Amino acid sequence: MKALRGVAVLGTVLALGVLVTGCGDGGNGGSNRVSVSGSANFPNSVGGGDVSGAPFVIIDPDRPNDPLTSGVSTGDGRYFGIIRKTISVAVILTGVAQGSNVRVSGLIPADHNSTEKSLDGQTDIACEAGVQAVIDGDITGNDLDADRIANLENAAARFVATTNFKDPTSVTAAANQVRALTDDGDHPAP
């Protein structure tokens, strides 16, 4: 009987060791789940402020119609999700600002655990540019790494002041310009 108890204890210790090892290295180990979180703020042109109490979805750009998770942002505009590990995800919130539905979104690297990011008008333009490039087949979701996201976001900064975030066609026009300037995020804008 003692021998069986010893085997059971050893088995438990080994299993725990595998779990701890897999979850180490900042989520780069054997764990296939990561957390993404952050805050979302409306663009200043629609009053700024937290995107509070707003529904959100987190999607893999390769599968935009199959959300990884969804929820509602907190009273101070925070979102949180535990999802499967992938190169990047898009977090998309839809809130109401100045009586209009306004989307705030962003691309987030999701290949390691505990990724936090603030979303705003700049990240929304870049997110549309990146996700639409994947949908159009010009790049794959695996191409949307941290460098490409940074290139899209840096280029999007120049369009925030002139974009009407209450009008989806205005955001799309800005996103199309970002795509053209960066070759879908492949390089920084000139």
- The pLDDT value recorded for residue 30 is 61
- The pLDDT value recorded for residue 52 is 97
Residue 4 pLDDT level (bands cut at 50, 70, 90):
very low
- The pLDDT value recorded for residue 23 is 35
pLDDT at position 22 over 90: no
Q: Where are the domains of the chain?
A: 1-31, 33-182
The residue ranking higher by pLDDT, 113 or 38, is 38
In the chain, the percentage of residues whose pLDDT exceeds 70 is 84
- The pLDDT value recorded for residue 17 is 34
CATH topology of domain 33-182: Immunoglobulin-like (2.60.40)
- The pLDDT value recorded for residue 80 is 97
Reported pTM: 0.84
Cα–Cα distance measured from residue 69 to residue 57, given in angstroms and rounded to the nearest whole number: 6
pLDDT at position 188 over 50: yes
Which contacts (CB < 8 Å, 24+ apart) does range 155-161 have? 155/126, 155/181, 155/182, 155/188, 155/189, 156/122, 156/123, 156/125, 156/126, 156/129, 157/122, 158/189, 159/125, 160/43, 160/45, 160/121, 160/122, 160/125, 161/45
- The pLDDT value recorded for residue 31 is 78
Q: What is the pLDDT of residues 58-96, one digit of tens each?
A: 999 999 999 999 999 999 999 999 999 999 999 999 999
Question: Would you mind telling me the total number of residues written for the chain in this entry?
Answer: 190
pLDDT at position 182 over 50: yes
pLDDT at position 21 over 70: no
- The pLDDT value recorded for residue 20 is 32
pLDDT at position 98 over 80: yes
Report the range of poorest mean pLDDT among 1-15, 48-62, 169-183: 1-15
What is the per-residue DSSP string for 22-41? Answer: HH-GGGTSS--EEEEEEEBB
Please give the average per-residue pLDDT across 149-173, as a whole number. Answer: 98
